[in-house]
Amino acid sequence: MSLDHAHYRALVDARVFEPASFARALVSRRRRPIARADGRLIIIAADHTARGKISLGSDRLAMADRFRLLDRLVRCLALPDVDGVLASADVLEELAWLGALDDKLAIGTMNRGGIIGATWELDDRLTAYDTNHVESMGLDGGKTLIRIDYSDPGVARTIETVARLTTELADRKLMAMIEPLPYLKDSTGKAMLDTSDEALTTVVAIASGLGSSSAYTWLKIPATARMTEVAAATTLPILMLGGEPIGDSDETFALWASAMNEPNVRGVVAGRTLLYPNDGNPEAAVARAAAVIRPTSSTNSKGTS
């Protein structure tokens, strides 16, 4: 299944002549439980553009083309091993309008205010879904990002916001997906990911304690060679992110495979690794991920053409 240009043009026209059809499609989609029998998830992340991340490697506009993005999302969501998608309201509504979200999880991204490269990047404010609309639009959960740098006062506000949203989602029995990442500032003041396993373990511990209930909290974190130590910092279910597919992707898949040995590592929330693989074949990338996440599945060899 792919997106044809006529259907895309109809979507663009509906933005003008039938705007209510987008919310209606999202609310009325056929829903499913968060976890099925195997307790594992493959979710496509498509919320990058909402905070200004449209580049990929040296191509500064690689993810900017909406037709191309939607086409790849529709193709991936048609695969049986893909459980759902994480995205902002515009993308989720478009996918629902296209009929791509029936029996798939829809996770709404929430705090996208930390625009890439902005001086306030770590002061990551609520600019996408709020909790009331995660619920009223029939979504299965909400995702928050928290990047912890000890020198930036804006981080305190973000921690408080994420804690509040986690509580609100738990009160509604909706998934609260938290992406905690350790950050540092370079000599110019630019925010940079801290890649040390010790720092990652610390923010996992911090994120696990956010909110008035952790019953519905899932964590989204990078896979590392020391996942045994990182995952041991929490009992919360963990989903691994993919990162930017620069160079050989074998290392990413190898890290995923190793991490799946940990009992609370339950799958992936990956965007660029699956949507924009180096060979240009998202179906093959999903099949490869499925072979790692669900090695006994009878379906993970399908849809690779």
Mean pLDDT of the chain: 93
- pLDDT band for position 245 (cuts 50, 70, 90): low
Percent with pLDDT over 90 in the chain: 84
For 61-70, 173-182, 193-202, 251-260, which range has the lowest pLDDT when averaged over its residues? 61-70
For residue 263, the model assigns a pLDDT of 98
Question: Residue 305's pLDDT is what?
Answer: 36
Specify the pTM. 0.94
Q: How confident is the model at residue 301 (pLDDT cuts 50, 70, 90)?
A: very low
Q: What is the pLDDT of residues 13-51, one digit of tens each?
A: 999 999 999 999 999 999 999 999 999 999 999 999 998
Residue 126 within a domain: yes
59 domain-assigned: yes
Provide the pLDDT for residue 200.
98
- Give how many domains the chain has, as a whole number: 1
Concatenating the DSSP letter of every residue in 34-69 gives: SS-TT--EEEEEE-GGGGT---BTTBTTTTT-HHHH
Other CB atoms within 10 Å distance of the CB of residue 189: 9
* 247 part of a folded domain: yes
Q: Dump pLDDT digits (tens) for 117-170.
A: 899 999 999 999 999 999 999 999 999 999 999 999 999 999 999 999 999 999
CATH of the domain at 257: 3.20.20.70
What pLDDT score does 249 carry? Answer: 84
Query: So what's the pLDDT on residue 298?
Result: 46
Cα 236 to Cα 239: distance, rounded to the nearest angstrom: 10
Residue 266 lies in a domain: yes
Q: Give the domain extent around 232.
A: 5-293
In a domain, 302, yes or no: no
Q: Is residue 301 a part of any domain in this protein?
A: no
- C-alpha angle with apex 196: 186 to 107, nearest 5 degrees? 90
Q: What confidence tier does 247 reach under pLDDT thresholds 50, 70, 90?
A: low
What mean pLDDT is predicted for residues 172-184?
97
Residue 101 makes CB contacts below 8 A (sequence gap 6+) with 26, 29, 77, 84, 85, 92, 95
Percentage with pLDDT > 70 across the chain = 95
Could you tell me if 38 and 147 are in contact, meaning their C-beta atoms sit under 8 angstroms apart? no
> Is residue 298 assigned to a domain?
no
Is 28 inside any structural domain?
yes
